[in-house]
Structure 1
Amino acid sequence: MSVFRLLLLWLLPGISAFAQKTYCNPMDIGYRYNFEQLNERISYRSGADPVIVTHKGEYYLFVTISGGYWHSKDLSDWHYVVPDKWPFEDMCAPAALSVRDTLFLFQSTFEQRPILYSVEPEKGKLQFYNRWLPRLPKDIGPWDPAIFHDPDTDRWFMYWGSSNVYPIFGAELDYHRRLTYAGPYQAMLWLDPWKHGWERFGPNHADLIKPFVEGAWMTKHNGKYYLQYGAPGTEYNVYANGTYVGKEPLGPWEYAPYNPFSYKPGGFMTGAGHGNTFQDVHGNYWNTGTPWIAVNWNFERRIAMFPAGFDKDDQLFSDTRFGDFPHYLPTGKWQQKDALFTGWMLLSYRKPATASSTRDTLRAGFVTDENPRTYWVAARNKGGETVTIDLEKTAEVRAVQVNYTDYKNTIFNSDTAVYTQFRLLHSADGKSWSLLADLTREPKRDRACAYVELPQPVRTRYMRYEHVYTAGPNLAISDIRVFGKGTGPAPAVPGGFSAVRQKDERNADIRWNKVPGAVGYNIRWGIAPDKLYQTWQVWNDQPSSLEIRALNVGVPYFFAIEAFNENGVSVLSPIISVK
């Protein structure tokens, strides 16, 4: 190949030679078609209960009912691995752990199942570490297990539980007897929704159904043990991760007053529960979660990962502020919790959209409403169908995310026919169009949440999605999200901000005055003025009030607000103390 052709290929948009420097939640992996609802003939791509482990300087992602797992060298480019030995049936909410040169893997079960191991997980080579863990009493599990190795003591433990009847359990494992139980299992923690507002079930914690606890995970930091759990229910916007802290791996435990430590109830991707905490190769902490989709089934989900860490007081936190906007991939150890946020703002919210065709009332306008449960459907699933978005002003475009929906799908196997291909075009005047990215040039793969970072920023006004291929009978897209920077000023600080705790201390009423030109607001709060780790994102076309029902009884809080638009983020408002 000539030098000229090599240079031309390098310069063309959409060529895989460009290594993305950013990522955007939900994660851009090849979500598999899920078999949980096969008997009901509901077909959808889904991913849930993620565990990411760092092993030999690389990353492995395990997800419920995926027929395999994913391998990455950079937390962005994930390659699907089909193992040579898969135990009996597909894995649900698996446990994974890297210790020295070995990766351990175990599935959720109420039966007798083996722990597997691999010294070559990148090749999909799995072996039996033991044949069976002894059977536990009926309904005890271990479901949603987590395996923990204490590097300081060389002791091994397992934690598990998924129920609104039983607690999170824990037990020591005997390494010298191939990781069987070393002693009786013990109750670790129970939910207490009467004191912990965020543990209440339902949308916005407003349902009286008894909540669920699940998704155990253990992290040791600075000599302390952080036993993490997901609650109150995976199928709602308020699914979150909490933690108890102890001095010993089986307790006793102290409830952390800053709970939940990972929480994302507002914005495009809602729900941050049932994941794990891991460190990347640079030593940065991350927390994973399983955001909520619920188009075809209540438990239809995606995968997200958020920068996390421990502050100077050893408080565990996860940074979900702008958690579904583009973030930089880590290249070293970061010092500030929001250091990875690119500052690329959402340019497409509620912007006019037109389509080449429309099925029934499933109109193009849904692709800019930041709601994964509404979607545009084309009259036909064929190449050449388009959606055009008018950003209304010229802006600097840096990235685009295309989120597909499995509308009335009939696919029940993620085989070689399941992939997505499209082109992105742009125009300054809506008449003359130029290619922005071409996703037909890369190897065929399925990208239900395709994230495309541009090699260089492009100043433009109109964006167009041009369809090439997706499997199934329908072309359906929930959201086309355009990111970059506008040319105007950031919004002013919202005035009239107030936070009043209700008689029920688990709740607080938040109010503010809307700001001209704002796209939305971040309500931020925490247990100290310098610990505003919680964020609830609200759009400007929604009411300028919010009831937060996620507080802990007896814990003082501090609240503030910021506004954002296409151009940036306002200064944070004065911080309010609420007893």
Structure 2
Amino acid sequence: MHLSLIALAAALGASPVLAHAAQRTYANPIDIDYRYNFEQMNEGVSYRTGADPAVVRFGDAYYLFQTLADGYWMSKDLLHWDFVKPDHWPYDGVVAPATLVADGKLFLMQSAVAPRPLMVSTDPASGRWQFWTRLLPPVPGAVRNEQPGVLLKPGELPQGPWDPGLFQDRDGKVYLYWGSSYVYPLYGAELDLKLGSTEGEGKRLSFLTKPRPFLRLDPANHGWERFGPDHTMGDKPSYIEGAWMNEHNGRYYFQYGGPGTEYNVYATGVYVGKTPLGPFEYAPYNPVGYKPGGFVTGAGHGSTFEDAYGNAWNTGTAWLGVNWTFERRIDLFPAGWHDDGQMWVDTRFGDFPHRMPDHKLRENEDTFTGWMLLSYRKPVVASSSLPAHPASTLTDEDPRTFWVAKTNDAGQTLTLDLGGTPTVRAVQVDYADFESGRYGDAPDIVTQFVLQGSTDGERWITLADLSKETRDRPNAYIELEQPRKLRFIRYVHKHVGAKHLAISDLRVFGNADGAPPAAPQDVQATRGSDERDATISWKPVPGAVGYNVRWGLAADRLHSTYQRFADRPTSFTLRSLNKGVRYVVAVEAFDERGVSPLSQVVQIVP
């Protein structure tokens, strides 16, 4: 073999990388076959979507249910998800489903404004389900209201349960929570599921307590509950929805989503109580799950669950909003509780690769891999492009801009130049839906492509071959079997089940050689005359790709993060604070080499 070819083989590795070989990491949005749905068919709007995830562990597997899917997903490791098509599915499209594992069974309830079925399965992996009851009992006190903006009379409740949440306490009692409105609060009651009954299908359920209101949004005091992008739409009514309950060390964490799923600030809040029916107190560290910046934005209306090792995870709804306001994806974040009961959700680098642990995480053990974004604003050459959708959008870290090829033919290519030869460890291909014309499922809705790598742009090796993939992968995440020094990454198209080939971003992760950037200096934070706001500023760090602005109640609890790229000003107004709560803030810089030390932690001065 010629010496130059020997050197190339050594640098690149001798064998191609298979699509799922030895995967140990993941990146948001999670890599599932988001379904085309029918919701906007009459308007001619075609899009894939995922929202309102409910994840539970049943047996030795995890099950993911979401809004408007013709089934659900199963995983053994939280990395690889297989779609399950139920054999008995009376739903015309489950919206914001509730799940419950109780008495060796998995229960599923859909959102409803009239009595609907409650399903049960002891073998959800097979897709076999039965009716626990064909009609849930009506919510006591609920009245039909054709004008949602009109307040109900005392003692009346809106129809439901919409956006339900089910929870079983340690004593075996079952509770139902529900609500989704910009007018009405979230409600809850104890529910008699008759778990020990030997009756067959058609069990009669009943409410054991009168439903009562629990909590409303309070945007006048909670800055993050204000509506609009970056909470900028003032006093416009905000939505509260997505009830989910967890018990931890004798405390009950009543989680909810707000202020609206169609903006970057969709978040999860929590109230804490001593009983499943309260009373509940607002947590001053809210929002507990919050991701307003980066490629993936939004972390509201999800679920919190434990994995096989006892680690807590929080799922959320990420906003996309290209083809329709409610076009969304699903994200997954590490979560947990401090010894004093403070709940946390870690969204720092929440759309970069994270490792999936195979053990119980230690206190403060991070799942972030340290693999940095190598593709930001790098040049891309496409084999063809529509004029309004150039290849330059592929590296802008914005899922709402996208490249479209002139034709959806096999052989279309994208060639990304990383500049130097960093160590590449993972690639994410994020597709877009541009006039896709698809509704529901079909055999040809699969995603097939090949990823290649090169050091010189002339000699290529295969990094991953998905040319025979049998699933649709709108957010395909490929972890390379071994790290490789590369300058060029090439996408070679095979098939996508849509009218057009459209990709929003080609994201490459790994590390360039050298020391990480220096810590940001001169961090300043001034509380506004409106205590819900604060102006944060710092000096730019030469060569930085971006910054993480991190804040919280103490220097060791900077759980909230706003990721900002370096082409944006190093001063901005944070509008998510709670009145009467003291905060501290710090900033870290990142580039292709790594993450800087944290800046000095400063108080957000009133």
- Rounded to whole Å, the distance in 2 between the matches of 1:28 and 1:492 is 34
* Contact kept in structure 1, 2:192 and 2:205, CA below 8 Å: yes
- Rounded to whole Å, the distance in 2 between the matches of 1:206 and 1:479 is 27
Q: Give 1:338 deviation, angstroms.
A: 5.1
Alignment of 1:28 with 2:31, yes or no, is: yes
Q: 1:97 aligns with which of 95, 100, 111?
A: 100
Q: 1:166 aligns with which of 184, 187, 195?
A: 184
- Rounded to whole Å, the distance in 2 between the matches of 1:548 and 1:92 is 32
Query: Quick one: which amino acid aligns to residue 495 of structure 2?
Result: Y
- Rounded to whole Å, the distance in 2 between the matches of 1:336 and 1:391 is 36
1:296-307 equivalence runs, <5 A: 296-307=323-334
Alignment of 1:210 with 2:229, yes or no, is: no
- Rounded to whole Å, the distance in 2 between the matches of 1:576 and 1:70 is 44
* Contact kept in structure 2, 1:386 and 1:467, CA below 8 Å: yes
Provide Cα deviations, 1:67-119, integer angstroms capped at 9, x if missing partner: 00001100011110011111241111100121242101000000101211100
Q: 2:58 aligns with which of 55, 58, 61?
A: 55
Query: Quick one: which amino acid aligns to residue 45 of structure 1?
Result: R
Q: Name 1:123's counterpart in structure 2.
A: 126
- Rounded to whole Å, the distance in 1 between the matches of 2:14 and 2:311 is 33
1:18-417 equivalence runs, <5 A: 18-136=21-139, 137=142, 138=144, 139-151=158-170, 153-176=171-194, 179-208=205-234, 209-337=236-364, 339-417=366-444
Query: Quick one: which amino acid aligns to residue 133 of structure 1?
Result: L
Provide Cα deviations, 1:192-225, integer angstroms capped at 9, x if missing partner: 0000000000000011310000000000000000
- Greater mean deviation of Cα atoms: 14-23 or 432-441: 14-23
Q: Name 1:444's counterpart in structure 2.
A: 470
- Greater mean deviation of Cα atoms: 180-189 or 245-254: 180-189
Alignment of 1:568 with 2:571, yes or no, is: no
Q: 1:456 aligns with which of 482, 486, 501?
A: 482
Q: 1:541 aligns with which of 564, 567, 571?
A: 567
- Rounded to whole Å, the distance in 2 between the matches of 1:372 and 1:506 is 29
- Greater mean deviation of Cα atoms: 94-103 or 48-57: 94-103
* Contact kept in structure 2, 1:310 and 1:316, CA below 8 Å: yes
Q: Name 2:152's counterpart in structure 1.
A: none
TM-score for the superposition, normalised by structure 1: 0.96
Q: Give 1:361 deviation, angstroms.
A: 2.5
* Contact kept in structure 2, 1:494 and 1:514, CA below 8 Å: yes
Identical residues among aligned pairs (%): 54
Q: Give 1:472 deviation, angstroms.
A: 1.6
* Contact kept in structure 1, 2:19 and 2:478, CA below 8 Å: no
- Rounded to whole Å, the distance in 1 between the matches of 2:244 and 2:98 is 9
Q: Name 1:3's counterpart in structure 2.
A: none
Q: Name 1:7's counterpart in structure 2.
A: none
* Contact kept in structure 1, 2:18 and 2:463, CA below 8 Å: no
Aligned residues: 568
- Stretches of structure 2 that go unaligned for 5 or more consecutive residues are 1-12, 145-157, 195-202
Structure 2 residue matching 1:291: 3-state secondary structure: strand
Q: Name 1:502's counterpart in structure 2.
A: 528
Q: Give 1:337 deviation, angstroms.
A: 4.2
- Rounded to whole Å, the distance in 2 between the matches of 1:40 and 1:197 is 35
- Rounded to whole Å, the distance in 1 between the matches of 2:325 and 2:364 is 32
Query: Quick one: which amino acid aligns to residue 256 of structure 1?
Result: A
Provide Cα deviations, 1:381-432, integer angstroms capped at 9, x if missing partner: 1011111111111100000000000001111122111001001111111222
Q: Give 1:166 deviation, angstroms.
A: 0.6
* Contact kept in structure 2, 1:294 and 1:300, CA below 8 Å: yes
Structure 1 residue matching 2:453: 3-state secondary structure: strand
- Rounded to whole Å, the distance in 1 between the matches of 2:54 and 2:217 is 23
Cα 1:343–1:276 change in 2 (3 A) is: same
Q: Name 2:3's counterpart in structure 1.
A: none
* Contact kept in structure 1, 2:348 and 2:561, CA below 8 Å: yes
Q: Give 1:508 deviation, angstroms.
A: 0.3
- Stretches of structure 1 that go unaligned for 5 or more consecutive residues are 1-9
Q: Give 1:229 deviation, angstroms.
A: 0.1
TM-score for the superposition, normalised by structure 2: 0.92
* Contact kept in structure 1, 2:20 and 2:479, CA below 8 Å: no
- Rounded to whole Å, the distance in 2 between the matches of 1:361 and 1:109 is 42
Structure 2 residue matching 1:302: 3-state secondary structure: strand
Alignment of 1:512 with 2:515, yes or no, is: no
- Rounded to whole Å, the distance in 2 between the matches of 1:32 and 1:361 is 26
Structure 2 residue matching 1:411: 3-state secondary structure: coil
Q: CA RMSD in A?
A: 1.3
Provide Cα deviations, 1:341-366, integer angstroms capped at 9, x if missing partner: 11100000001111011112211010
- Rounded to whole Å, the distance in 2 between the matches of 1:322 and 1:98 is 32
Q: Give 1:17 deviation, angstroms.
A: 6.4
Provide Cα deviations, 1:234-272, integer angstroms capped at 9, x if missing partner: 000000000000001111110000000000000000000
* Contact kept in structure 2, 1:14 and 1:439, CA below 8 Å: no
* Contact kept in structure 2, 1:140 and 1:161, CA below 8 Å: no
